[in-house]
Copies of this chain bind each other. A is one copy, B any other.
Amino acid sequence: MQENQFAVVAKRGDRVCDLSTPRPIIDEDRLAANIARCQAYMDEHGLNFRPHIKTHKIPALAAEQVAAGAKGINCQKISEAEVFAAAGFQDILITFNILGAQKLERLAALNDRISDLKVVADSIVTVDGLSEYFALRRPLAVLVECDTGGGRCGVQTPEEAKALAQRIQAAPGLSFAGLLNYPKPAAAEAVQAFLVNTLGLLEQESIACPIVSNGGTPSLFDAHLVTAATEHRAGTYIYNDRSMVRAGHCDEADCAMHVLATVVSRPTADRAVIDAGSKALTSDLLGFADFGTVVGYPDAVITGLSEEHGVIDLSKCGDHRPQIGDKVRIIPNHTCVVSNLFDTMVFHRDGVVTRVENVAARGLVW
């Protein structure tokens, strides 16, 4: 790890309040509770659960998710899947259209290494590209990505989904494995309708559809409303963040990740500056007007970030204001992008470091 060239981040037994800042830290008890809570919900409703590893990028955490009952894992990039395959995971779904000779070559090599690799496609171009590569190899399982209202990738109608499923079924080297969608939050009815209609069309053609994969942490606890789904995917739930609190998915106390920062300046009575900027918290707003929650200072507002500075407006804080040198904890707007900035992640229980994990799938190409 680059960062260890000049600095040891932390070691077991250190107090997190002594760590150099800025530094994201993960509360072990909250982490375990988040994993257990979500898996219990999925078990209760008979849904397979497939955690998305993009949030943490750490094989040891995925192992905890699988040990709790997750069926397999979800990756977003071939490189992520390679890291997790090397760590022993066999059931990996890559939810991305994979295009281009270099990536297809790597995908084929990966498909030879693990037993249950799956990808998605939403176009004939992607399907034909996959087929060209896999025609003379071990067959690849492909799901049709459906846009049920999320407005990102995906076929637009059940008819298109059926046609693409047929194309996959007929393509040398490919097998049709099911349907997948990434919904906008609170849209269970629309998702259900799209999936039910598509399943009806597939049934008319006698096309088996083993997997129906619904997704998203914001809609995680609505997953049981989508009875057409066989599985649910979610990533952020393992750490949780400010956007998940706002979505009603969890409480502030369920946020396992805090970003530890130091107040380095108090230029005015109403302004504090911390050493966590956009290179620690990222600029993800996700609809907020500010850049995170300052734990213990509910009226403090992180109004602006530059790369290594966060500017906090204290004007509504009354007399309780952090002083220069004080350490504060920030609940970030979005955990997944914070993970992506740090080569290592520090875990603690009651403020004492339990372990330091390599963020193994960070910074990978492909």
Binding site for B on A (CB under 8 A): 1-3, 5-7, 9, 18, 20-21, 23, 54, 76-77, 79, 82-83, 96-97, 99-100, 102-103, 106, 122-123, 125-126, 129, 147, 151-156, 262, 264-268, 271, 273, 275, 278-279, 282-285, 304, 306-309, 311, 323-325, 336-337, 340-343, 360, 362-366
Complexed CA–CA distance, A307 and B283 (Å):
12
Distance (whole angstroms) from the CB of A181 to the closest CB of chain B: 12
Indicate if the CB atoms of B20 and A102 lie closer than 8 Å.
yes
* CB nearest to A18 among chain B residues: B102
Complexed CA–CA distance, A264 and B94 (Å):
14
* CB nearest to A9 among chain B residues: B365
Indicate if the CB atoms of B364 and A265 lie closer than 8 Å.
no
What residues of chain B lie closer than 8 Å to A99, measured between beta carbons?
262, 264, 324-325
Complexed CA–CA distance, A305 and B99 (Å):
20
Distance (whole angstroms) from the CB of A73 to the closest CB of chain B: 16
From the candidates B6, B82, B147, name the one contacting A79 in the complex (CB within 8 A). Answer: B6
Q: Interface majority SS on A: helix, strand, loop or mixed?
A: loop
From the candidates B2, B271, B285, B324, name the one contacting A343 in the complex (CB within 8 A). Answer: B2
Indicate if the CB atoms of B307 and A54 lie closer than 8 Å.
yes
